[in-house]
Amino acid sequence: TVPSINAGENATINYSGIFPEITFVTFGDYIDFMFYIGWIIDIDLDVTEDNEANNVGYVTTYGMYVANKSDLRDRGPAYSGMGSTSVVPGGSSLSVYADIENRGLKSAGSCNVSFYASLDTNITTSDHFLGDDLLPADFSNGTYVDADWIGTFPNITDESYYIGWIIDVNDDVDEAHEDNNQAHLSTQLLVDGTAPTSLISFTPVAGPYTVATNTEFTITSDDGSGSGIFNISYRVDGGTWIEYTGPFTLSSYTSGNHTIEYFAVDNLGNTEIILSLDLYIQPASGGIPGYEPLLIVGILFSVSVIFIISKRRKK
């Protein structure tokens, strides 16, 4: 912006910045070209002047040389992504896509875009290689193409990874800038191949595994930094699996020995091995394990009758 200038005076102005990218150049066959650096005074016609025809100037002593090279780079975060934010290593399929543009003055030849999984945002060939895509042989400047990869995610350690790519990974294309060929997604990919771990808790009435029919059992599961718990299932004595929704009792079971089995599944389908707990349901007070109180009374009565009859016969 030019400051206010009094009549007969002058002001010095300057510009400092990054030279702009030039696309769709129409000078010849995209040959090396020399550009003049110029300026337009009062470009918005804010000042009423006697002569509006002398507002254009340029550096006459030399021009600006712009290299006749390709310049490949990622088109930006709005044009890239992946099909999922979590995978099972060695089991899940993943798709990744990105737009690659040529912002140079010359068409580019064919080259590879390689995709990687990295623990940080510095994507290198030392990261976990996913796959690559081959760009076309005649990649015109001022245009863009799609690069993508889809396949089974490799069997690597559970962690959160950045998914990124390196353009022209083998340096097949002579570019004006070789330092803008790396890009990555801002959203990390969760790699989770570990099943949850579950724990059943209860309060015994006697000893470590003796319970009553009204004893409550609670199952909790932990998936650590994984994808989270999808569901928990349990069953008693090899019966039908039941989805766990809250504490339960064994009120419908008789006294004696019983087994509870249980396991959890996370949101990626990682399934815990089936765990089991052997229990003993204590009979009612004064009872005999496995027998109902009325049955016990009947048995005792029968024994008493037999004993009385036996005594009378002996007499």
Which of 191, 208, 237 is the last residue before a domain boundary?
A: 191
Predicted confidence (pLDDT) at residue 288 exceeds the cutoff of 80: no
Domain shared by 207 and 178, yes or no? no
Whether residues 203 and 173 share a domain: the answer is no
Count up the domains in the chain and report the number: 2
Distance CA 217, CA 223 (A): 20
Looking at residue 74, what is its pLDDT?
Answer: 97
The pLDDT, as a whole number, for residue 30 is 41
Same domain for 274 and 217: yes
65 occurs within a structural domain: no
162 within a domain of the structure (yes/no): yes
Q: Compute the CA torsion angle 67, 73, 79, 83 (nearest 10 deg).
A: 160
| pLDDT score for 103 | 86
- Digit-coded pLDDT (tens) for 218-227: 999 999 999 9
Contact between residue 173 and residue 111 where contact means Cβ atoms under 8 Å apart? yes
In a domain, 300, yes or no: no
Q: How many CB atoms lie within 10 A of CB 27?
A: 12
Two tokens, residue 285 = 């007070």
- Do 165 and 228 lie in one domain? The reply is no
Q: How far apart are CA 29 and CA 140, in angstroms?
A: 12
Task: Reply yes or no on whether the pLDDT at 302 is more than 60.
Answer: no
Provide the residue range defining the domain that includes 145: 72-191
Is residue 82 in a domain?
yes
- Tens digit of pLDDT for each residue in 235-248? 999 999 999 999 99
Alpha carbon of residue 230 to chain centroid: 17
| pTM higher than the cut 0.75 | no
The CATH number of the domain holding residue 101 is 2.60.40.10
Whether residue 66 lies inside any domain: the answer is no
Burial of 238 (0-12, 13-18, 19+ CB in 10 A): exposed
Residue 29 counted as domain residue: no
Whether the predicted pLDDT of 230 surpasses 50: yes
Closest to 82 measured CA to CA, from 71, 66, 68, 93: 93
* Token couple for 209: 């595994």
Mean pLDDT of the chain: 87
Query: For position 23, what pLDDT does the model report?
Result: 55
